[in-house]
Structure 1
C-alpha cells in the first residue's frame, strides 16, 4: 500500500502569510496532495487485484493440467470419463463454493472452527475481500477435488463423482482452509493472538490444506472401492496397468508446473508491499514472490532428477511417467514452506520428496492399494513431508516478513527456532487426516452401501467411455467406404489406404 501524503493548512498558511488569501491557497494545495494520495491508493489496489486475478487464472489452468495428466494415466477406454470428471469438479465446485464454501472458509468474524458470513457472496465486495479473492480461493478448492478424482479413476460410478465433489468443495475443504488460513482459524499463523504453540501453522500455499485433504479423501475412496480388476493377480502380485498416453502425461505435467507459479507465489495475495516500512528499496514483497517461484522450481527439478536416477537403479528404465510424478511430488512438498525457506533448502525438500513418493508406492503395492494416478501417495506422502520440512527449515527472517506482528515467533527447528513450529505442524497433519477420514470416509462408505460407488466388473472391463459416456474418446477404425472409380479408371477402397 502506498503511503498517504499529508499536509496541514495551518503550516502552509504561515508560509503564505503575505498572500491575499493564504487560507484558500493552503486548502487548494492540500486538496491536490490528497488527490495524488488517493490515486496512489487506487493504483495499489489495482496492482494487487490484478496480480491476484492473474494468479487465479494460473491456478485455474492447473485444471487443464489435471485433466491431461489423468487422461494420459488411465487406459484409453476411460479417457472421456476422467476428462468429464475434471470438468465437473470445476463446475460443481464453483456452485457449491459460491453457496457455502467461501463463507465456511473466510466468513469473518467467526469462531475458530467455521466461518459464518458471505454465503452466496452476500455483501460482497467488502473491505476485507474483493471478487478476485473469491475466484482465487475457488481455484484452490477445485484443485483438492481434482486430486481425489485421480485416486478413484477407472472404476467409479459417475454419480459418485458429483456427490463427493459437492461435499468436498462445499464443506470438508472449506473448514480445513478456515482452520489454517483464515485470520479467525484456530491453527492459523495469521491470528493476532492465541497462536497454536505460539507460532500457528505455516502452511503457506497448502501442502496440508489442499494436497493432504485431497489425498486423504482419495485414499478412502480408493480403499473402499478396492483395486481395479486385474491390478493384482491371484497371488497378490501387482500387474502393471499403464496409462495409454505418455504424451498427455507430459503435457499435463508442464501445465501443472506453469500453474504452480500462481499456486505458490500467488498465495501472497498482494505484491505491492514494502518490508520493514522502507519505501524506495529494491527489496520488498515482490522479491519474496520471486524467491517463492525459485524455491518452487528448484524443489520440482530436484525431485525429478532424483526420481530419474533412482527409478533407473530400481527398475532399469528411464521412465517419463515416474519422472513427471516425482516432479509433481517435489512441488506438492515445497508448497507449504515455499515462501519461508532458502533455495538450497528447497533442493533438499525435492530430493527427500522423491524418495517419499517411491516409498509410498512400494507400500501401496505391498498392501494391494490401487491408485491409478498415485495421487494419495504423491499428494499425501509428499504433502505431509512438506509440512514437516517447513517446520524444520523455515528461516526466521522470512517468517517475520511473511507473518509480521508477532514477537519471537518460532521458526524452523534446524534453523535454530526450536520445536514449537514442528509441534504445530504435527497437529495439522493429525487433525486434517482425522477430519477428512471421518467426513469423506463416511461419504464413500455410504455410497458403497447404496451401491452408488463402484461400477460392475463387466462395465469396468468394457470401459466407462462405452458404458457411461456413449462412445470412445478416440476413433480407432475408419468406416469402410464403398469402392470409388477415379478419373483414370483406377479402383481404390478405404481398407487399402
Structure 2
C-alpha cells in the first residue's frame, strides 16, 4: 500500500507529520520484503542440504547392496558423482537447463554462472538444482555396479549431469521449455506436471542405468548355465537400512523443497492458509506413498517367497517415494496411498521381468526408479486435483487436471509424451555413450578383475581392514568373502 504525503497532509494539517509517517511505513515495508526474501532463501538452502544428504543415503544403500570386495569402488563412484555433477553443472548444466530467455529445447545463458545472480535466479536456486543433478547421476551408478571400469563412471557422470539431464530439465521445468506448464504454447493444452521429478530425475537416471547394465551384461555368477537366476546378495543389510532412512530423510527436501519458497499466502494476506500448508501436505503425501509401498512389498514378498525380507521392503519404500515425487504437491493423501500400493506392485513385476530376461541391476535401480517413476507420471495424470493445481501452479494458463478427478485426458496425454521422449533422448545419448565405450573395451572390467573384486584390482586395497598378525591379507579376505567357509560352493566363490 503506497503512502502519499500529500494526501496525509490534508488529513493531518502537518507536512512534517505526513512525511514522518510515510517514511516509516516505507521503511517497514522494505524490511518486511527483505525478511520474506530471507525466509524463502533459508527454506530453499535448507531443502538443498536435505537433498544433498541423499548422496550419503545413495552411498550407504549402494555399499550395502554390493559384495564386500567392491565396497570401496562403489563408495568412490558415489563421491565422484557428487563432485563431477557440481563442476559440470556449474560449467554447462545450469545454463542448458535454465538459461532463459532461450528456445524451447535448450538454454543458452549463465554458463559458469556468468551474469549471476539475476532477478529470477540466485545462488540458492543453483545449489538446489545441482543437488537434483547429482541425484540423477547417483541412480545410474547403482545399475552398473561391480563390473564397470572406473573411467567409464567419470565419462557417464560428466555427460549425464552436464548435458543429458539438464536438457530434460529445460523441457519440463524451464518457463521456455516445450513441455513446461507455463509456456506460451502448452503441450496438449496442458503441459507436464512433474513437480519434483518422477520423470525428470528418476526416469532419466533409470534409463541411463538401463543401457549401461544392458550393454555390459549381467555379473559373473548372476545366472547359471540354464539361465536361472542365482541370488548375489549385498554384504550388509545394515548399510541398506541406513541408506534407506537417509534417503527418506532427504526426500523431505526433495519433494516439499521443490516449492522453492514457503512464505506465500493463498488468498488475502494474514490468512492461516498458504504455501506452508501445501508444503506440509506434500510431506504427508510423500510419507504415505513410501509407507504404503513398504507395507505392500512386505506382504506380497511374504506370499511370493515365504519370508520377510528387509532389503525388499527398503526397495519398495523407495519405489513409493520415486512414484509420488511427480504429483506429491497436487494429490490428496488418500491418493498417495493408492500410489504406494501400485508402486510396490510395479516394482515386484519389473523385478520378475528382469529375472526372466536376464537383466542384472544390483540396486534394482532401473526397476525402482524407472518402473515406479513411470507409474508416478501416469498417477499424476490420473489423480491431480484441480484446486491444488490452481494453488501450486497459479500462473499456469491451463485448466486440465487428473482424469479420475474429472479433468479430461490432456494432462495424462502430456505425461505419456514426456515418458516417451525421455526414453528416446536418454537412449540416444547415454545408450550411444555406453555402446561406444563397450566397443572400445573401456566399459567392463576383465573376468579376472571381477572375480578378484574391484577394491583390490582398481583401488589399491579393501574397504574393510581384516588383516591380523597370524593370517595374510589374501587369506583373511577370502575367508570373509566366503563367509568363513574353508571349502565354499562354486556359486559362492563367483
Provide the C-alpha distance between the structure 2 equivalents of 1:30 and 1:437, rounded to a whole number of angstroms. 61
Aligned pair partner of 1:6 in 2, 6, 26: 2
Corresponding residue number in structure 2 for 1:239: 230
Give the one of 251, 254, 266 matched to 2:257.
266
Shift of 1:27: 2.2
Give 1:461 shift: 0.3
Of 181, 190, 193, which aligns to 1:199? 190
Q: Distance in 2 between matches of 1:49 and 1:152?
A: 37
Tell me the CA shift for residue 407 of structure 1.
5.1
Contact 2:181 2:396 in 1 (8 A): no
CA distance in 1, matches of 2:182, 2:305: 45
What is the CA-CA distance between 1:447 and the residue it aligns to? Answer: 0.7
Q: Distance in 2 between matches of 1:303 and 1:16?
A: 66
Give the secondary-structure state (helix, strand or coil) at the position aligned to 1:15: helix
Contact in 1 for aligned 2:324/2:376 (Cα 8 Å): yes
**Displacement of 1:480 after TM fit?**
3.1
Q: Tell me the SS of whatever aligns to 2:6.
A: helix
Q: Could you tell me whether the CA contact under 8 Å between 2:386 and 2:407 is conserved in 1?
A: yes
| Range moving further from structure 2, 30-39 or 55-64 | 30-39
Provide the residue aligned with 1:224 in structure 2.
Answer: 215
Show the counterpart of 2:324. 334
Does structure 1 conserve the Cα–Cα contact (< 8 Å) formed by 2:182 and 2:395? no
Q: TM-score normalized by structure 2? A: 0.94
CA distance in 2, matches of 1:44, 1:258: 26
Query: Residues 126-162 of structure 1: CA distance to partner in whole angstroms, max 9, x if unpaired?
Result: 1001100000000000100000000000000000000
Equivalenced residues, count: 471
Contact 2:182 2:397 in 1 (8 A): no
1:418 corresponds to: 408
Distance 2:12 2:361 in 1: 78
Q: Deviations over 1:165-210 (max 9, x none)?
A: 000000000000010001111101132x211112110000000000
Number of the residue aligned with 1:301: 291
Q: What's 1:189 paired with?
A: 181
Please tell me whether residue 25 in structure 1 is matched to residue 25 in structure 2. Answer: no
In structure 1, C-alpha distance between the alignment counterparts of 2:59 and 2:187, rounded to whole Å: 37
Matched, 1:477 2:448: no
Name which of 326, 338, 342 aligns with 1:348: 338
- Does the aligned pair in 1 maintain the 2:378–2:415 contact within 8 Å? yes
Q: 1:441 to 1:408 in 2, by over 3 A?
A: closer
- 1:467 maps to 457
**For structure 2, which runs of at least 5 residues remain unmatched after alignment?**
472-494
Distance (whole Å) between structure 2 residues aligned to residue 50 and residue 125 of structure 1: 16
List runs of 5+ in structure 1 lacking aligned partners: 482-497
String of CA shifts for 1:433-462, please: whole Å, max 9, x gaps.
Answer: 000000000010111111110000100000
- How much has 1:6 moved relative to structure 2? 1.9
CA offsets per residue over residues 78-108 of structure 1, 9 Å max, x none? Answer: 0000000000000011000000000000011
Distance in 1 of aligned mates of 2:456 and 2:397: 61
Quote how far apart the aligned CAs of 1:408 are: 5.2
- Radius of gyration: which is bigger? 1
Counterpart for residue 385 of structure 2: 395
Q: RMSD of the TM alignment (CA)? A: 0.9
Q: How does 1:155-174 map to 2 (within 5 A)?
A: 155-174=147-166
